[in-house]
Structure 1
Amino acid sequence: MPICVFDIFADGTTSVPTDTNLTGPGEYRWWHFDLTDEMLEPWAREQLHEIPAGSLIQKQTRPRCDLFNGGLILNLRGINMNAGQAADEMVSVRMFIQSNLLITVRRKKVFAIDTIRQSAVAQNAPTSPAKFIEALVSRLTRRVQEHVESIDAQAEFFEIDLEDKETPMPHELPEIRRSVIRLRRYLDPQRAALSKLAALDIPLIPQDSQLELHEQANSALIAVEELDELRERLVSVQEEHDANVAQRQARHGYVLSVAAALFLPLGFITGLFGVNVGGMPGTGHPWAFAFLCLGMVVLAALMFALLRKLRWI
């Protein structure tokens, strides 16, 4: 059973049909399905040509826009706003559109579709299939832009943090980088699909809708370009954090090396004078230990002066 079916009229009013015909008396009939519905595949095979039917029931999809017998096969993706799920695991909507028919299929809840559904219940639905596409694309693109802006704000925060060289690398940084890569993977083909959609010269997409779709395609292109920039910025942030860690490690190693250079001759002398054999000088002299300590202080000062002269410290 479909999630909802509406006959939508030219003034935006709607009615729920009582028949099972593919089209109805309104401007167009909208069928909305869940992909997990066991009745979807036999219904699609019975009602539609095998090509659009196959596109609606595919398990895995990518954004596409293709003409078919005066109709339109359109797949789009949007930000996943479902509770407890990652936003970059984008949700898909599969569509087949004709002048008097619109079929949408989703696997997970698509909030942009749900908003249009609420408008239909409120007797204020998009007045034509083209207006439906406009409304859907506008909502999907706006939410993509909002999500990209939130990632941009995080990247800016990470960049400001770099002013303090001691700031540790944010633990969210690797996941955000992966998120940008996943979003880029889906949004680039979506940009291409929207550009193709906006360029179509068919009665289904009138000129005023083409202009709006051109704007949405341009917004999708900007989002992809921003993701490319964010990817480079986040790589730069991680590289700078890695460089800061390497510098700290090198500095610590340098201090240890200098300390080792200073104490190496002192350790040799103490080891030499610590041997427990006969014939050690000064064993019977009361000031021998004081002279040994003084000599070691002088030797340490000479070693320090030598390292400074060689510009090792």
Structure 2
Amino acid sequence: MCRRNLKKADLDPPDNIAAPSALSPTHGSRAGAVIARSYDRYFTSGLYSSRYPRPNTRTLRLLQHLLPLGGRLLDYGAGEGRYGLALARARQAQVVAVDISDMARTELARLSRAAGLEAQMKICGPDDALYRQEVAIRGEFDIVLFAFGVLAHIAGRERRIALLRSLRPALGAAGHLVLGLPNSRRRFRIEQAAMKGAVQPPDFEEGDLFYQRHSEDGSLDLFYHLFNRDEIFRDLAEAGYEIERLTCESILPETAVTRYAGLGLVDDLACNIVPVDWGYGYLVIARLAG
């Protein structure tokens, strides 16, 4: 069941804060602090790395195909660098890794040093001066990546669209926006049913819910927004992108395909056969419209 000790109101900016800035969807709001605290606990517990120890084979292969050798990657919500580190190694990518969690950034810095990739990794938060320099000023990214579920942790359709719009100038003319989005048909069915039966705050949107992760340190309540196919096309069009390809990110849960390499390979093949809407998550490849 959905626990309600974290409210949607906690994810919205106070009345005296302007609309989402061009730099961050959580700039100056309570949202960043709430989500950052949750993810600091998530990373510190070791639960995140145990659930998702390696990249999704299918997603990584697509990114390697799209990213030119030595290209620029913006890894938004990079976490501990599942994709950023792999692409820095395999494609000699120059990576700007963004995350709101101090713990994630600290661990990613440690891992990049250990791998000898420190020179290729620039690690920052979404409100840092380094973010403004690399994203708002320099830009020219070959790929802007929101790996599985990252965009879904941002509360509010307007805030999500504002963030995607703000990243348009940072994308190179031939660049791609790549999104992993949770499929509402496959994810959190119990939580979705509970939300329908509960008294909801007036600012909850269809597809919003809270879910829990459990570790030895206790339970974490995390916000999530689930997507359907029509919503994806509508929101990306409004943000100024057009979709080149919509496919499955996986059929099995993300934990299965990232923990077990063999399952990941079988799942990858299955994604080419089954209907897209059967996917555990959608994998979206888009470009600038017009």
Q: What's the TM-score, normalizing by structure 1? A: 0.26
Q: Which structure shows the bigger proportion of residues in strand conformation?
A: 2
Structure of higher RCO (CA pairs closer than 8 Å, 6+ residues apart): 2
TM-score between both structures, scaled by the size of structure 2: 0.28
